[in-house]
Amino acid sequence: MSTSEIDASVQAELNRLRESIDNIDAAVVHMLAERFKATQQVGRLKADHQLPPADPARETRQITRLRQLAQSANLDPAFAEKLLTFIIAEVIRHHERIAEEAGNGTATTGQV
């Protein structure tokens, strides 16, 4: 193969991989949109029924489970844990907004 043929084949492979990455990113965005719909329902349910907002035991179970899933999928468990923590921080931000809108001024954390 000439250099330009090699270049073209490498570029084609790079494009193929990037298309997969883009498809995966779209899937993740849509999964997370669905996740926030669920956590917002949890937030409202807890607010309506005066349930304690935080549930540390639930969070511990989630982290343990995600680390195990990551390990079996050959993903760094520490990364999976950091990612969950990152998402939970956003959930808490949402719940604070729900609480503010409900006018009770109490930050409802932990509906994760």
Which distant-in-sequence residues (6+ apart) come within 8 Å of 39 by Cβ?
91, 94, 95, 111, 112
> Minimum Å distance from CB 100 to a second copy?
16
Verify binding: residue 100, a second copy, rule CB under 8 A: no
Return all residues near 52 (Cβ < 8 A) that are at least 6 apart: 46
With CB under 8 A, what is the number of residues at the site for a second copy?
50
Question: Does 101 participate in binding a second copy (rule CB under 8 A)?
Answer: no
108 lines the binding site for a second copy (CB under 8 A): no
- 21 or 106, CB closer to a second copy? 21
**Does 90 help bind a second copy (rule: CB under 8 A)?**
yes
Does 12 participate in binding a second copy (rule CB under 8 A)?
A: no
CB 110, CB 56: distance < 8 Å: yes
Q: Does 54 bind a second copy (CB under 8 A)?
A: no
Please give the full DSSP string across 12-67, using - where no structure is assigned. HHHHHHHHHHHHHHHHHHHHHHHHHHHHHHHHHHHHHTT--S--HHHHHHHHHHHH
Positions that interact with a second copy (CB under 8 A): 6, 10, 13-14, 17-18, 20-22, 24-39, 41-42, 45-46, 49, 51, 58, 62, 65-66, 69-70, 73-76, 79-80, 82-84, 86-87, 90, 112
